[in-house]
Amino acid sequence: MPMLKIKRSIWSTLAAVVSVFLWIAGAQAAAGLERFLAKVPAGEMIAGADRYGPVEGDLPVAGVFAGERRVGQIFLNTDLNDATGYSGKPIHVLVALDGDGAIAGLKLVKHSEPIVLIGIPERRILEFMSRYIGLKVGDIANRKDDARSVDMISGATVTVLVIEDSIFRAAVKVARHLGLGGLKPDRPVGSRETRTIDLARTAVMDWETLLAEGAVKKRRLTIGEINAAFEKAGNAEAIARPEEGAANAPFIDLYMAPVNVPAIGESVLGKAEYKLLADRLKPGQSAVAIFANGRYSFKGSGYVRGGLFERIQIIQGETSYRFRDRDHKRLGEVLADGAPYFKEVGLFVFPEKADFDPTAAWRLQLLVQRAIGPIKKTFITFETTYRLAKLLLNSPAVQTLRWAQSRFPALHPGGVVDSAPLMSSPPTGNGRAGLVHDARRLVLRGIGAAWVRQPAASAATMAAMAVAAKRASGGSARDVSTIGTLAPSTMPAARPLMK
């Protein structure tokens, strides 16, 4: 009992400390927003408004009022997303949304961008930002196009990229939180399954296995795809300057992998380089390896001059992460057995304070540029989604599945198959992959169970079904006539999902 009380006391103390830190962070964000609001009249952000309300809620957002009527909300982009510019310092923009979730006002309130201070007039940046007024945040969030054109100001590529990206992502985050523009609030963190990286799994994989298991993700963009994307964007000058070559020829073969995951890191980097990385990373810090072949460079040369990799960024949810030269290490090759030669290999380490979750899906965005004049360029972005292979994760569902497979070999793909089944399997052309995906299916020999479909069945339910199968068959797992494949449709059917 005394030990139990001590443990409870420790957890209570930790919870209190975390709460204090969160309160301090929220107070600092509120203070930053209030400082800028004191300098900008409400009427400049939303027409007809005459005052701001207090900063309130989980996110640092203030109401905008016309008399007693709330006509919108206002926030600072840097409170909600990274907006570090070419200078290495944040670009602060006040953003106002109306009650329908449309961008109603923008104000560049502070920056240190050298190109704007001594080169391009600030007026041009403000004119560029004005085109965002009226955009509906719901439309921004629900864009489905993989490729998207991006307007730029020549000579201020990084500045404009950071401003646009931080405005849009902060606006979507606020709209989701408040339920504006048809966007639904994100699920509370506590309602999600807890996932962690399986640190015990360190077996080195060869190149073929890395690709087959989804540990390394590949994206090929062909010359035809690039030309089609610029044609769809409608810029006549860009259309008149197509990439030369066969339409199916590779423009870039782009690969990505989270190398802080032990099994991936040792396979891609080799044991020596992975150890250097592991020694460098702080608890909770992540790193990715990006490598490519083709005529297009994902690194470009801008980072040599300005220290920022402008052609790539990683996006998770509504948070984006850009890398600077200090986050990057050039590598000579990928050391996985059977890996091809790559023209570019880069190791990128997330900043220590980055709130990046390697167990959740993320996207790598590639900025493709096309020269349309001596100094003028146009741009298109392409995004590729990465999801960590389940065999490298720990979670309650994954642990239950591994336990069930260890007890009942028939749960493994290509396991026990009845040579004379009482009934045949239904067609599986609908793309559903089996017990651990959208359809759970089970056929028991001799009890006439037919096909049992449980679309919402959990891994625990699946394990219970396996136990029932064993008992119904007189205690032998070999009397189970068919238990559907556990392999995702993207994996070879004969390769076990869990080991």
| In the chain, where the domains are located | 24-145+153-178, 189-393, 395-483
Q: What would the pLDDT profile of 360-388 be if each residue is shown by its tens digit? A: 999 999 999 998 887 788 889 999 999 99
Angstrom distances, CA of residue 262 to CA of 35, 332, 334, 350 = 45, 20, 15, 16
State residue 287's pLDDT score.
97
User: Rounded to the nearest 5 degrees, what angle is found at the Cα of 208, between the Cα atoms of 206 and 212?
Assistant: 115
59 has a pLDDT exceeding 80: yes
The pair phi, psi for residue 97, each rounded to 5°, is -115, 140
- Number of Cβ atoms within 10 Å of the Cβ of 415: 18
Q: Is 107 helix (H, G, I), strand (E, B) or coil?
A: strand
Judge contact between 405 and 457, C-beta under 8 A. Answer: no
State residue 306's pLDDT score.
64
Q: What is the mean predicted confidence (pLDDT) over 315-333?
A: 92
Residue 478 DSSP symbol: G
How many angstroms separate the CA atoms of 299 and 295, rounded?
Answer: 12
Residue 468, Cα to own-chain centre: how many angstroms? Answer: 39
51 has a pLDDT exceeding 50: yes
Which residue bears the tokens 């989270």? 258
State residue 453's pLDDT score.
36
Task: Report CA torsion sign: 56, 58, 61, 63.
Answer: negative
How many angstroms separate the CA atoms of 485 and 414, rounded?
Answer: 8
Mean pLDDT, all residues of the chain: 77
Q: What is the mean predicted confidence (pLDDT) over 224-253?
A: 95
347 has a pLDDT exceeding 50: yes
CA dihedral 358, 363, 364, 368 (to 10 degrees): -170
